[in-house]
Amino acid sequence: MAYASTPQASLHSRTRSVQIGLLRASLCAALVLLLAVPASAADREDAAIRTALASGLRPTVVPADTALPHWSLQQRMSQHNVPGVAIAVLRDGKLVHSAGYGTREMGTQAAVNADTLFSVGSVSKVVTAATSLRLVADGTLVTIFRVGATRSKACD
């Protein structure tokens, strides 16, 4: 039995194509991050960043009558009970600093280095959104949904 092509079927097909395109873009971005960063990380050092991590961390908000505190990364890790972190700093899309601090797990001696992988949780949602919006801005990805429209009217 042959089905007639309807505007709704065509719209569904385009919507599905956009969803698949977003999924592909997200997977590509994740793959690039997973493969490119560890291969080039190898503990690069930047003196200014090293100094900031040693004693230049500050709070986002400080009351007006309070002196500005300066913390070390080790102090902040201790305060929040974080056994270890891996840090990568990018400037203009290039890796300028990467290093590991602390241990992989509380109570162990396995050190963190620049290539240690951690679970990123919901951070991937932000990366996917930013990558998708960049592709839309570049004209590589075309969306058919209007922001703020209700679900039933999103594709009109």
Q: Which of 5, 72, 119, 122 is catalytic?
A: 122
Helix (H, G, I), strand (E, B) or coil at 135: helix
Q: How many CB atoms lie within 10 A of CB 68?
A: 7
Q: What is the dihedral of CA 66, 70, 72, 75, to 10 degrees?
A: -10
Cα(107)–Cα(110) distance, integer angstroms: 9
Cα(38)–Cα(34) distance, integer angstroms: 7
Cα(76)–Cα(66) distance, integer angstroms: 19
Instruction: Tell me whether residue 124 is one of the annotated catalytic residues.
Output: no
Q: Which positions are annotated as active-site residues?
A: 122
